[in-house]
C-alpha cells in the first residue's frame, strides 16, 4: 500500500472548529484512503472523524502533517494539503 506525507499550514481563519472539521472529514471519508492529521505537538487524529479533528486544537497558521495511505496516495495527499491550507469557513 502506498503512503505519502505532506505538510500544510492550516488556512481557516478561526481554526479547526465544526465547519472546517466537517469539510475535512467529508473529504477524507470520500477519498477511500486512510488519512491522519498530526499537529506540531504530536497529536494525531483520523481525518475522517469530526470529533477527533475537534480535539486536535488546530488554530489558523498552525502547521499540520498529513499522512495518507492507499492507492494513489501522492495525488490524494496533494489535494488534501490544498484543502487543509484553504479557507474552509465560508458559507
Q: Is 60 a catalytic residue?
A: no
pTM comes to 0.93
User: Per the residue annotation, which of 11, 15, 17, 65 is the catalytic one?
Assistant: 17
Q: Using alpha carbons, select from 32, 61, 34, 56 the residue that is nearest to residue 45.
A: 56
pLDDT band at 91 (very low <50, low <70, confident <90, very high): low
Q: Where are the domains of the chain?
A: 3-85
Residue 62 phi, psi dihedral angles, 5° rounding: -70, 145
Grid cell for residue 67: 499522512
In the structure grid, which three cell numbers stand for residue 63, read together?
A: 502547521
**Does the domain made of 3-85 have the CATH classification 1.25.40.80?**
no
Per-residue pLDDT reduced to its tens digit, 36-79 = 999 999 999 999 999 999 999 999 999 999 999 999 999 999 99
> 52 Cβ partners below 8 Å, 6+ apart?
45, 46
Amino acid at each position: 500500500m502506498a503512503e505519502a506525507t505532506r505538510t500544510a499550514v492550516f488556512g481557516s481563519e478561526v481554526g479547526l472548529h465544526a465547519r472546517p472539521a466537517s469539510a475535512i472529514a467529508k473529504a477524507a471519508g470520500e477519498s477511500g484512503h486512510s488519512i491522519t492529521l498530526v499537529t506540531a505537538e504530536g497529536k494525531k487524529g483520523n481525518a475522517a472523524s469530526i470529533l477527533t479533528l475537534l480535539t486536535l486544537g488546530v488554530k489558523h497558521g498552525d502547521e499540520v502533517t498529513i499522512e495518507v495511505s492507499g492507492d494513489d496516495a501522492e495525488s490524494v495527499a496533494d489535494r488534501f494539503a490544498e484543502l487543509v491550507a484553504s479557507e474552509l469557513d465560508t458559507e
